[in-house]
Copies of this chain bind each other. A is one copy, B any other.
Amino acid sequence: MNFGFNEEQKSLGETVAALLADFPALTGPDPAQARDPAVWRALADLGLFALLVPEAQGGVGLTLVDVALAIEALGAGLAPPIAASTLIATDIIAREGTAAQRETLLPRIATGDVRIALAVMEDGQGYDPAQVRTMMGGNGVTGVKILVPDADIADMILVVARVDDRVGLVMLSRDARGVAIRHHADIDPSSGLCEVTLNGAAVMDGALIGHAGSGDVISRLMDAAAIVYAGMAMGIAARMLDASVDYAKTRVQFGQPIGAFQSIKHRCADMAVAVEAGRSAAYYAFWTAAENDPDRSRAASMAKAYCGEIARDVCNETVQIHGGMGFTWELGLHRFLRRAKVMEHGFGNHVWHYERIMAQTLAARAVVADARAA
């Protein structure tokens, strides 16, 4: 048992962070300027999208836990959400895809030639993927998906839809007939949130992912996405903590750095504890996903709920600690606040995940009780 990352895992995180730092507009004040398409190519050239692809399909064959720190760096660097979406989709295809899907898609993902957006939510249905009304029928997929990050720049869209009375995953080409995309107006234009209207959208051959499998594909998707979002949330939180501490060391008021005042010092300490706590939850969840551990869904929900709350709190505190500078547009702290808020609502907010934790906890208790009774 060891809860540490190895050198390769750490180095991966540092490399991604360094790469993103080369694109300062990503974290610059204007979210509308933060969607440089060159970032995708640079990440692909780095090999990021090959990491989760099995060696048989030309990838590196790593698991989610191996890329945990890289994902944290994607969060901290406000990378385009399509990077995370594609990694999540890769995990699903590699684990749940048919041999044909794997052979067709994964080599192209590995080289960065396929960007995949994730389309889960629909208006008026809350967060639960079981509630979707989008339907795959004989003449294609029909329904309206909302809040799909970076759908406009994706090559493919992985859609949660009803198929044969079950909720499943369908892969569409973004250019397919019957696919219409509209940008949302929203608080974080850099997330590229889109509404995707599917009107008998043409499906690809073998477009159903994992439908013949364990039936676990939707919960695997929600878990993987929750964990990746939790990791990115911790990236944001850790970066904001660093910004607060740096500011507290240099900003002088009343003749001393404000970090000498307990009101600032203690708040930084509480944030540091929250960041460590959130990382504990997130890293453990990454591990359960990598191992497909029985605790996976509970761990994923704990990470998503808790890390989302922490990122929100730390962003708020960071604005406060920066005082007047904190609420300027130019300093750009709002970029992290906005992104964190969008991510908080992606793939289930804390209320939805806390409810899911409770359901998982009670189910696990029932199993133990049954075992004792037997």
**Which residues of A approach B to under 8 Å, CB–CB?**
261-263, 266
Contact = CB atoms under 8 A, between A and B. Distances in A.
A148 to B, nearest CB: 34
6 contacts: A261-B262, A262-B262, A262-B263, A262-B266, A263-B263, A263-B266
Stoichiometry (number of copies): 2
A276 B122 CA distance: 45
Nearest to A260: B262
Q: Is the interface of A mostly helix, strand, loop or mixed?
A: helix
Contacts of A261: 262
Contacts of A266: 262-263
A254 to B, nearest CB: 11
Contacts of A263: 262-263, 266
Contacts of A262: 261-263, 266
Nearest to A261: B262
A266 B266 CA distance: 11
A261 B266 CA distance: 11
A276 to B, nearest CB: 20
A265 to B, nearest CB: 8
Nearest to A266: B263
A85 to B, nearest CB: 38
A266 B263 CA distance: 7
A139 B261 CA distance: 70
A267 B261 CA distance: 14
A260 to B, nearest CB: 10
A266 B264 CA distance: 11
A258 to B, nearest CB: 11
